[in-house]
Amino acid sequence: MSTLQPIHNIAEICAQHGITDVVLSPGSRSAPLTIAFARHPELRVRVVPDERAAAFVGLGLAQAQGRPVALVCTSGTAGLNYAPAVAEAYFQRVPLVVFTADRPPEWIDQLDGQTIRQTNLYGRHAKAAFELPVDFAHRDAEWHATRLVNEAINLAQEFPQGPVQVNVPLREPFYPAAGEEIKYEAVKINREVAGAPQLPAGELEVLRTQLRQTKRVLIVAGQHPADEPLLLALRRLGAAYQIPVVGDLIANVHLPVGSDYDVRSAPLGRQDVFMAVPEQGLKEALRPELLITFGQSLISKALKNYLRDYAPQQHWHVQQAGAVADTFRSLTRIIRMEPAAFFEALLADQPKTTEAELATAMGGSKPPRLTWQGPGSARDEAAAPKDAFSTPWQRANGWATQFLAEFMQQSQQPFNEFTAIYRALQQLPDRAALHLANSMAVRYANILGVPAERAIEVFANRGTSGIDGCNSTAVGAALANPERPVVLLTGDVAFFYDRNAFWHNYPTPNLKIILINNHAGGIFRLIDGPRQQPELEEFFETRQQLTAENTARDFGLGYYTARTFAELDKALPVFFAPTKKGNAAVLEITTDSATNAAFFEQYRAAVRRAFSA
């Protein structure tokens, strides 16, 4: 047996566990791993030289496919460059299996090249760290290595999913002789069969009783992948109990369910608009007695602050396993079930509801009135009963939808990024995967929304909310499914920070990048604090004069520009048109940071005026 046979077997173990994709960055110490993965017939291995970009590409692949992706890097700082993506994967619950090649333990801290302390490299930002044996002279060492790799892959997939590190110390020689074939042995596979937690019947009945007896119930969805059974359960629960369901764009509760879906029966998503209204009566009318949450983070700071200031008497969070955050300082009960199963269980004593009945029950037959008339004063005959808690939520959301439509259509306005993004989002391709970069892109999109009937699934790196891998994550998504349109909405700082995302040799004609270039970190002009400081331009805004033209040329990307609304309207249909050949395309929308800030302030003032008018 080759001394490297247990290392070669790692690739076979990954394949047997259903891993299909590997992202590696070249290096010498990792050569045995590289060769094992590259020669395996069942694995797709892609090379991304920049380890930071490579890890985020792997993250995007894992998100899109819903299964683990393996990362492979050499020793030294290569593994440290994985850290931002590993942290993002940990907090976003994305399964990554990270193989870090390492020096033998006796050479750590001995001034040997490319040597750092790699054991437990990611600390508490990985689910676990595994250390393989350095020698395999004894059969127990081979068994030990096989067992550890199995355990790592199982743990990455166990809920809550996340990244694991497998550190692989290697001694020379690394390479097989010229012409030597490597073999994959029959390996022992330990599979973990996932079970679905269930509550005792008595406990479920207690919760059903509390739900029936509580009039003011609100469901808030955090970031969550698209999940049709969950969406249908939410629609049914909302209809049965007149419970408003609220979710940011990244919660993906806006997606349609079924062929007869009526967008007016969808959960609510305009909270960033109507929560900005300084109306005490509205805030009191929206206050829940019972808050039920699931999923992860929220984008909407307004909603988070509201639920902290207007705390419910009870707060249930539904999550089958793992640590639970008390985001609103009101948590009273953790329900260990998968959300769709829990909501269906609450409905066990309710008759089944058809899609048409859902639309009618949720007010789908007629839009709600778009004026606020005070708590409990609903007059729309198609709305819920007068005492239903959903009525003020539905009315506020309907008002916000109409306000946005009218405000964004006003003819007299300077060219600005808020309106430019609105126009771009209105033309997104059907069933696109929309990736939102952090900073203002994700916030603008959460205010403006997407056309619900187009079934657009939304992704964002909101685990850590960093700008460092937004391009690369979208690249990974585009590689995962070349037939699906992938659209990245990003700002200039995030885009240029992650240019090495495009430093690879794989075509991604399905990737369209909308780049909002205001030549600064425009968010700092929009938030109180930095915008009042004399150091704003030099020390906060990240002023730069770059354009994407050179980046597009360097990496063979299609390149479009827009500096006016007329140019934008002309470019969008051409930009979004499907292409079968070539690489990604960039639409660079150039705006002025000060103009953007002034227009967004006009928008915020208009919200306050319009609601009180």
Mean pLDDT of the 24-41 span = 96
- How do residues 55-64 score in pLDDT, each as one tens digit? 999 999 999 9
Q: Which amino acid is at 248?
A: D
pLDDT band at 579 (very low <50, low <70, confident <90, very high): confident
Task: Give the per-residue pLDDT at 369.
Answer: 35
pLDDT band at 322 (very low <50, low <70, confident <90, very high): very high
The position carrying tokens 């009618």 is: 360
CA distances from 316 to 114, 312, 463 (A): 49, 10, 22
pLDDT of residue 139 exceeding 70: yes
CA distances from 237 to 224, 450, 605 (A): 18, 24, 36
How far separated are the first and last CA of the chain, in Å rounded? 82
Q: In the chain, what are the domains?
A: 5-169 (3.40.50.970), 201-392 (3.40.50.1220), 410-612 (3.40.50.970)
Mean pLDDT of the 523-531 span = 63
- How far is Cα 81 from Cα 500, in angstroms, rounded to an integer? 13
DSSP string covering 297-334: --S-HHHHHHHHHT--SEEEEE-SSS----TTS---EE
pLDDT of residue 388 exceeding 60: yes
pLDDT of residue 235 exceeding 90: yes
What's the gap between Cα 291 and its chain centre?
23
Task: Report residue 90: phi and psi, to 5°.
Answer: -65, -50
Share of the chain above pLDDT 70, in %: 88
- How far is Cα 159 from Cα 459, in angstroms, rounded to an integer? 20
Mean pLDDT of the 416-433 span = 97
Specify whether the CB–CB gap between 58 and 10 falls below 8 A: no
pLDDT, the chain, mean: 90
Specify whether the CB–CB gap between 583 and 508 falls below 8 A: yes
Which range, 179-183, 293-297, 604-608, is most confident?
293-297
Specify whether the CB–CB gap between 132 and 168 falls below 8 A: yes
